[in-house]
Amino acid sequence: MKILLTCVALVYGTAFANDASSARRLFDETSEQKSERLAWWMHDRFGMFIHFGLYAIPARGEWCKMTEPVSDEKYDEYFRLFNPDLLDARDWARRAKAAGMKYAVLTAKHHDGFCLWDSKFTDYKVTKTPFGRDVVREFVDAFRAEGLHVGFYYSLLDWHHPDFTIDMCHPGRPKMAKKWEFYGTSDKDFPTLNKNRDMAHYRQYMKDQIGELLTKYGKIDILWMDFTYPEPNGKTHLDWDSEGLLKLVRSLQPQVIVNNRMGLYDTADGWDFVTPEQFKVCEWPTVRGERVPWEACQTFSGSWGYHRDEMTWKSDAELIELLVHSVSKGGNLIMNVGPNARGEFDARAKTKLDVYADWMRVNGGSVYGCTQAPNRFKVPEGTLLTYDPNAQKLYIHLVSYPGKSLTVAFGDEISFARFLHDGSEIKFSKMQSPPENRLYSHGGEGKWQLSLPAIKPDIVIPVIEVVLKYAKLD
């Protein structure tokens, strides 16, 4: 056990602390126990998000009911028509696995309140639509069969539940409040709008549903709760009773890994990881000065739910870079797919998953079990570094291909270098100072050069694997 814990601490550079000194605690789990609980997830690094629901039919993103807004009558039509007849969760799972993803999180319920499982606490669920099948059940069975960990996304917001009080993120918000305008609007309409709504009932509803999800589908690895928005006329953790909810979660599935969006920010253990959304962090995120586990959540095109007309899909290189970027800062990436209203990943999503599949098949070694490189390895220009502390290997990702040679400052530590994709040797030598260098300095003096082919290998982002001097060769 001790050896395992030492390994976990080594792999992640520093065991992440919960900073017991300044934050209150809800549970008595130690920092080591938490590291152990999260070890598989931090090792695996790469997951698939699946946003699927009624909003696949309008195909304008999962927020359309609120942002446009779409009327209740119109949205009901989507419910009456929902029939994703081509849905094959095994196909989703096979594609996730091929892409190198090791876990998947499905929207069991999104903000519109529609449930993808046969909940006994509502009729607003998939089994009451023409489709009639329990998508959550098919999802967990299919992904487990492919050896992936499974998780549920559960929306704290609910635009359908009659007791969920209308707030600034609700389609029924006062007309004067423009979309996203959280501040400066009048509160006076909210009490009237909410006079027949009782959040206490809704809190119980959430507990009942989370109870179902965590007892009827076997071991659940991740719970992705979304989200808390304490702005004026928003909601805080007290509105959800996040503490009570989390205690329930931990009592039913102690091992489950939970994100931070229940809003228990003042606690040391009311969350397991933080969730930067659709942006690249500048450094490994910290909480109260300590590095914490984190996961970037990202989309192929900007939309989570299927968006037919969204054309700003990320390039192949951008997608690979997003993954490597997270790992190079000690984090994970969960990349989203929004299946269409027939239940399929559309052609664009399949193509982009293939980009990951092709790259990960040969380069996965620079992702799994890797983390941020120690500071002494100065990041060469145009590259991203990851580091495998167990194998003591460094991975240089050539995000911008440097041409015939790459200059690195840490040559003294290199014992061997090769391209990861084909295993071919890369020679390296200390930079010689040519006579003309008496005239000018180029900054590379005393550094090392790795000799590369002048033409970039046919790999979206080529990776150089560096075996460090003190490492055992495998």
Contact residues for 451 (Cβ-Cβ < 8 A; gap 6+): 404, 405, 426, 427, 428, 429
What is the separation of C-alpha 99 from the centre of its chain, rounded to a whole number of angstroms?
15
Q: Give the nearer residue to ligand GLC in terms of CB position, either 228 or 253.
A: 228
Q: Give the nearer residue to ligand GLC in terms of CB position, either 35 or 155.
A: 155
Q: Give the nearer residue to ligand GLC in terms of CB position, either 55 or 356.
A: 55
Question: How is 345-377 classified by DSSP, letter by letter?
Answer: --HHHHHHHHHHHHHHHHHGGGTTT-BPPPTTS
Interface residue with ligand GLC, options 12, 52, 217, 227 (CB under 6 A) = 227
Q: Indicate whether 304 belongs to the interface with ligand GLC (CB under 6 A).
A: yes
Distance CA 80, CA 61 (A): 19
Site string for ligand GLC, 360-399 (x = CB under 6 A): ----------------------------------------
| Nearest CA among 174, 178, 170 for reference residue 65 | 170
- Least Å distance, CB 226 to ligand GLC, is 5
Contact criterion met (CB below 8 Å) for 144 and 205:
no
Distance CA 258, CA 336 (A): 18
- Least Å distance, CB 90 to ligand GLC, is 24
Q: Closest-CB residue for ligand GLC? A: 297
E strands in 188-331: 222-226, 257-258, 286-287, 290-291, 295-299
Strand order in the sheet with 383-388: 383-388, 393-398, 463-468, 414-419
Q: Give the nearer residue to ligand GLC in terms of CB position, either 63 or 273.
A: 63
- Least Å distance, CB 152 to ligand GLC, is 12
Where are the alpha helices (H) located in 224-299, listed in sequence order?
A: 237-240, 242-252
What is the separation of C-alpha 17 from the centre of its chain, rounded to a whole number of angstroms?
21
- DSSP, res 125: B
Q: Give the nearer residue to ligand GLC in terms of CB position, either 338 or 462.
A: 338
Site string for ligand GLC, 106-135 (x = CB under 6 A): ------------------------------
What is the separation of C-alpha 424 from the centre of its chain, rounded to a whole number of angstroms?
33
Site string for ligand GLC, 180-219 (x = CB under 6 A): ----------------------------------------
Q: Give the nearer residue to ligand GLC in terms of CB position, either 62 or 272.
A: 62
Q: Give the nearer residue to ligand GLC in terms of CB position, either 242 or 366.
A: 242
- Least Å distance, CB 96 to ligand GLC, is 17
Distance CA 148, CA 131 (A): 26
Site string for ligand GLC, 141-170 (x = CB under 6 A): ------------------------------
Distance CA 120, CA 213 (A): 11
Interface residue with ligand GLC, options 277, 381, 422, 445 (CB under 6 A) = 277
For 191, 276, 323, the CA distances from 367, given in Å and listed in that order, are 51, 19, 8
Residues numbered 57 to 86 that lie near ligand GLC (CB under 6 A) are: 62-63
Q: Is the peptide bond before 84 cis (omega within 30 degrees of 0)?
A: no
Q: Give the nearer residue to ligand GLC in terms of CB position, either 339 or 369.
A: 339
Interface residue with ligand GLC, options 223, 297, 335, 408 (CB under 6 A) = 297
Q: Give the nearer residue to ligand GLC in terms of CB position, either 225 or 256.
A: 225
E strands in 301-447: 332-337, 383-388, 393-398, 405-408, 414-419, 428-430
Residues numbered 448 to 467 that lie near ligand GLC (CB under 6 A) are: none
Distance CA 88, CA 96 (A): 13
Q: Give the nearer residue to ligand GLC in terms of CB position, either 11 or 333.
A: 333
By CB under 6 A, how many residues form the interface with ligand GLC? 8
- Least Å distance, CB 312 to ligand GLC, is 17
Contacting positions for ligand GLC (CB under 6 A): 51, 62-63, 226-227, 277, 297, 304
